[in-house]
Structure 1
């Protein structure tokens, strides 16, 4: 029986050096009919625990063992043909935009039209500090970097002159075959402003079912403001959605376009088999 929810379903994961092989994961996601595979990112994790992890007291091991997402996505591009390949999210302030523009464009040339760049500022202030980022200016710096990325992707001789990012005209190839959509992460009171000013979509984190009424109002606000600004449809992707049929119905009613299910972090000789079995279970939702 075909599922009644008109909404794309994908997966996201902390791809670690101790878990499933990246290529086996990519093949598994595409073979089961999912629409997307998104990878998380942390360049590193400071041993200091001054910044509290939003998810609880103890930071999971997976945070400090992630693959570089762009290296992994480039490899995944070679073994897939259909699924969207994205980041959820890239911490753009921890990259120089000239380097990041080339990384993203290179992956996009390997997977034409299939790359999406989820972006965010992050939560770990020590991690930011190691990259020379003042946490008090994290949002302004991210927005400048997004502007610089688009300039490099779209201009033959790109230049950018801002408060935090500044470079004279450059040559930088490859250019992407299609400019990757930038999905703005976050759920704070001003996030819709950033989605409208700098984004091609919104990728909020784990919307609880009890919060869905308020969330649906925000989606309605986004669509109204986008229409007023002549932006057209700005898609909404929930990162870490609940893998339950009734939850999917609720997300769809709220106006969500895509849900990404978070794969369980697994370790050991059975990690790959267990992850593929989890994909099998999640794939049952594709037909409900």
Structure 2
């Protein structure tokens, strides 16, 4: 079982200090969120809260997750980073391949790309990308990214993207893992078909178990049941040693946690308080010094 630290809505000047403390404590990874901008009025509901509202305000701090990974990677040497998740649909895959390859190289292959489509029409349209047919376009984007990141001279002639032979150097010396987000069946199919893992938004255990079962079935269907596959989750109702054991038994491989929240600290709490929470959590649940 791996434990990853989620850093959504963390002040930017704390990111390097959190990464260093998490590495020292034995956490596996840092999960990096993505938010392009805050539109004053949203035209569709946010899909991961009961009432469709956003959990942040116009002043909530965000940073581009690829830039954050590079900065945090420079402050550490072993801990890994992955986006959780990058809103792929509003981006250009050729430009993104350059950015992902750069981060993978600068962190010595400590970077994984967690991808989702994106939920807000404004994020697509205001970035010059149509909201319509976003799922099909994202499928092709993943193909383009994997093709370019694989190295060498490549070309692609698809429905949405078309380019002649090009090469981006240096290519990552190891394949960048792709983790696919989303709770719909089409998202689960995408994860099972092309992903190295599936990554969740906030989810309850009773909803998580059938998702994992469905992923197993789909991976069998696509002939991928023998390949390594991560299950990364933010489970909102299983905590402590018994809760984490239940998650592991269900098939979760990576639990995303925010230890300072467990200690009653907010997102804007001082860095030192968050570092102490990381140490306390690691002592209890990573190093097994306390079975409470």
Q: TM-score range by the shorter chain?
A: 0.7 to 0.9
Mapped partners of 1:94, 1:41: distance in 2: 12
Match of 1:129 in 2: 125
Mapped partners of 2:201, 2:69: distance in 1: 21
Query: Residues 155-234 of structure 1: matches in 2 within 5 Å?
Result: 155-225=151-221, 228-229=223-224, 232-234=227-229
Match of 2:249 in 1: 253
When structure 1 is superposed on structure 2, of 80-89 and 130-139 the one drifting more is 130-139
Mapped partners of 1:212, 1:59: distance in 2: 21
User: Cα–Cα, structure 1 residues 63 and 126, in superposed 2: closer, same or farther, change >3 Å?
Assistant: farther
Indicate yes or no: 2:20 matched with 1:27. yes
- Where 1:61 maps in the other structure, the secondary structure is coil
Shift of 1:246: 2.1
Shift of 1:45: 2.1
Match of 1:11 in 2: 5
Query: Residues 48-67 of structure 1: matches in 2 within 5 Å?
Result: 48-54=41-47, 55=49, 56=51, 57-61=53-57, 65-67=61-63
TM-score (norm 1): 0.87
User: Cα–Cα, structure 1 residues 167 and 223, in superposed 2: closer, same or farther, change >3 Å?
Assistant: closer
When structure 1 is superposed on structure 2, of 73-82 and 276-285 the one drifting more is 276-285
- Structure 2 stretches lacking a partner, 5+ long: none
Indicate yes or no: 2:81 matched with 1:85. yes
- Where 2:4 maps in the other structure, the secondary structure is strand
- Structure 1 stretches lacking a partner, 5+ long: 1-6
Shift of 1:66: 0.7
Match of 1:277 in 2: 276
Mapped partners of 1:160, 1:240: distance in 2: 39
Conserved 8 A contact 1:73-1:107 = yes
Conserved 8 A contact 1:159-1:170 = yes
Q: How many residues align?
A: 278
TM-score (norm 2): 0.86
When structure 1 is superposed on structure 2, of 85-94 and 237-246 the one drifting more is 237-246
Mapped partners of 1:187, 1:201: distance in 2: 13
- Where 1:204 maps in the other structure, the secondary structure is strand
User: Cα–Cα, structure 1 residues 139 and 201, in superposed 2: closer, same or farther, change >3 Å?
Assistant: same
Conserved 8 A contact 2:38-2:57 = no
Conserved 8 A contact 1:20-1:275 = no
Indicate yes or no: 2:261 matched with 1:266. no
Higher relative contact order (CA 8 A, sep 6+): 1
Conserved 8 A contact 1:45-1:127 = no
User: Cα–Cα, structure 1 residues 207 and 221, in superposed 2: closer, same or farther, change >3 Å?
Assistant: farther
Shift of 1:106: 1.0
Conserved 8 A contact 1:207-1:215 = no
Conserved 8 A contact 1:90-1:120 = yes
Mapped partners of 2:184, 2:68: distance in 1: 30
Which stretches of structure 1, 4 residues or more, deviate above 4 A after TM superposition?
none
